[in-house]
Structure 1
Amino acid sequence: MPLSEKNQAELLKDILNNHQSDCCGSVAECEQVERIVKSLMVNSSVKENVKAVLQEIYSYSQNGINSSDLDQYITSHQGQLSQWVDEIDKFS
């Protein structure tokens, strides 16, 4: 059973919140973020302004997967993580 758009947004927010609060994460979490964002991007009910934020999160996850020091990478994105969580709150 696929997750609803709301469930996907909540899961995405949870992972990003964990990255922000813990200043660390795993490649598997970045891959999960990537899958969630892809699913939301193809959803026709997601507005264009939201898709712009999702594109930023997608880039974050891809670069995180390829980062040689994921924890440092996450730490360097603390400001964006907070901003993205706030944006997700607005549309979820």
Structure 2
Amino acid sequence: MPINHTDQLNLLKDILQNHQEDCCGSVSECEQIERLVKSLMVNENVSTEAKSILNQVYSYGQSGKYTQDLNTHIESHQDQLSDWVDTIGQYS
């Protein structure tokens, strides 16, 4: 059974918050970020404002998946992670 867009936003927020707080993550988390964002981008219940943030989050997940040093990638995005977590929290 698929989860609804609110649950997807909450899951995405949780992953990003873990990256922010722990300054580390995994390739599978980056892949999960990509899958969640793809699903949310085609959902008509997700606002246009939220989708603009989701584009940035998708790029973060995609570049994280291919980086040689994921922890450095996460550390270099701390400000954005904080902003994304706050913004996604407003839409979930």
**Superposition TM-score tier, normalisation by shorter sequence:** over 0.9
Task: Measure the CA separation in 2 of the matches of 1:73 and 1:36.
Answer: 20
1:24 Cα offset (Å): 0.4
TM-score by length of 2: 0.98
Identity value in percent: 58
TM-score by length of 1: 0.98
| CA root-mean-square deviation | 0.5
4+ residue segments displaced more than 2 Å: none
Task: Measure the CA separation in 2 of the matches of 1:4 and 1:46.
Answer: 11
Residue 51 of structure 1 pairs with residue 22 of structure 2: no
**Which amino acid in 2 is paired with 1:55?**
N
Matches within 5 A, 1:32-43: 32-43=32-43
Task: Measure the CA separation in 1 of the matches of 2:48 and 2:17.
Answer: 23
1:45 Cα offset (Å): 1.4
Deviations 1:11-43 (A, max 9, x none): 001100100000000000000000000000000
Matches within 5 A, 1:5-44: 5-44=5-44
Q: How many residues align?
A: 92
Task: Measure the CA separation in 2 of the matches of 1:28 and 1:89.
Answer: 22
Residue 4 of structure 1 aligns with which residue? 4
Structure 2 gap ranges (5+): none
**Which amino acid in 2 is paired with 1:10?**
N
1:49 Cα offset (Å): 1.1
Task: Measure the CA separation in 2 of the matches of 1:10 and 1:46.
Answer: 13
